[in-house]
Structure formats: structure tokens, C-alpha cells
Homo-oligomer: A and B are copies of this chain.
Amino acid sequence: MTIDWVGLDADDTLWHNESYFITSYELFAEIVAPYLAPTDDPYQAAHDLLIATEIRNIPQFGYGIKGATLSMIECALEISHRTIPAEDVWRLVERAKEMMAHPVELLDGALDALDALACHRLMLVTKGDVMDQRRKIEHSGIAERFDAIEIVHEKDPQTYAAALDRHGVDPRRFVMVGNSLRSDIHPVLALGGWGIHVPYETTWAIEHAEAPEDHPRFRVARSITEAAELIAGSGSIAAAAD
């Protein structure tokens, strides 16, 4: 058994994303701070309320900048008992537009890792606003390195199974590389595939999940470079898969 296809997450695996959201969260915390009870950490308090709103709204708004912005506006209205100045709503909308235009900055080592994986077939698997993801894929300059690009609404076993099926991929010969245990690793392991977790410097609270214990097809890498080594060369996946 060998690995034919390598799936790669994009946000916070190939390019920076969460770091831009943190700037938005800081703006949100600044706007709602006057309405919060005095606390040691107003940023954390605001963040916790926002995450609860985002989780509640995922069935309607899904993932991405537009849904996150609508959740910020709704949460600010709730916290302020609908007294927030229109000017602050304006700042959140304008911030959304800035987010939609933020530069696409590849992680260190991402290009070299793609080079190292060039003898495999590569699938980009990402979720979020379809237009924003398309923009980032185009601006990243790496679109032509992929044999398949899948923008999905949710990364669960069902959507992975459908994506693999579309391209005739045997899950047992597929490894997914990504920063989210919840979205990139668990669903692929559940299908019989392999998973390599490459933690990012920060993880969106909604993406937190436990790492699998002693799973035979699960690996952790410290960087995208190390993930590529695990797959391509003398690393443990290649060894275990032989």
C-alpha cells in the first residue's frame, strides 16, 4: 500500500489566516468592552461571547468572513442590549471588506513542501466563503500545483468521501495534512485515510479537538516541511505504508 494522493488544508496550513481574524476579534472586543461587566480580561470575555454566537450561527451562516462579521454584529447588538452606535456597526462592516482583501502570505516552507510532494497527486481541501477562498487560491500563485481543488461547506466524513469519490481516490491511499484536528484529521481517519496534524501558532476555538491516541494512521509534524518529509521520504508514513 502506498500513498497516491495528498490532501492539503489551506487556511493556517499553507497560508496565514487566523492572524487576520485576531485583528478583527480585537476590534470587536474594543467595541463591546464598554458594555461588559468589569473583568480581568475583557478581550477573553468578549471572545468567549463571540465564539458562542459563532457556534450557534454555523448552521445558518457557515464558515468564513461574511458569516463571522454577521455574528460579530449580532453579538455586539446583544451585549449592548441593542444600543450600540451605528458607527461601530460601520467599523465591523468595513473591517470585513479589509479582511476580504488581505494579502495571501504563505507559511514558511510551504512552497518547498509542495515541491517535495510533486510526485504525488495533490488536492487542496478548504472551507469558507467560496469567493474569498477562490481569491486566496488565485493570489497564492500555487493553484496550478494541485490536481484537484475542493471548496466545501463543512469538513466532515461525508464531504471528504464525496470529494475523494469525485476524483477516484482510495481513502486508504490518501493522507490529509492540516492544522485542525477537528476538520482535517478526524474525518479522514474515520474514512480509513491517513492524517498529519501540523499545529498552527493559534487555533480558532471552534476547531479545537482532542488528538487521537495511538492511532496507526495519525502523525504529528512540527511544520509543513516535516509533514512533506513524513510522506515523501524515509518518514514514518512511507515506512508504515510499505
A73 CB contact (under 8 Å) in B60, B73, B100, B134: B73
Q: CB distance A90 to B61 under 8 Å? A: no
Q: CB distance A62 to B131 under 8 Å? A: yes
Q: Known contacts A83-B86, A89-B86: does B130 contact A60 (CB below 8 Å)? A: no
Flag whether A80 is at the interface (Cβ < 8 A): yes
A contact residues, total (Cβ < 8 Å): 36
Q: Which of A69, A70, A86, A89 has the most CB of B within 10 A?
A: A86
A231 to B94 Cα, complex, angstroms: 47
- 3 closest residue pairs by CB, A with B: A62-B131, A66-B66, A60-B100
**Interfacial chain B residues near A66, Cβ < 8 Å:** 61, 64, 66-67, 70, 129
**Interfacial chain B residues near A85, Cβ < 8 Å:** 82, 86
Copies in the complex: 2
**Interfacial chain B residues near A67, Cβ < 8 Å:** 66
Q: Could you list 6 further interchain pairs (A-B, Cβ under 8 angstroms) beyond the known A63-B131, A66-B67? A: A60-B96, A74-B93, A82-B90, A84-B86, A129-B129, A134-B153
Q: Known contacts A100-B60, A100-B61, A131-B153: does B93 contact A73 (CB below 8 Å)? A: yes
Q: CB distance B62 to A129 under 8 Å? A: yes
A85 to B132 Cα, complex, angstroms: 30
For residues 108 through 145 of chain A, which have their beta carbon under 8 Å from a beta carbon of chain B?
Answer: 129-132, 134
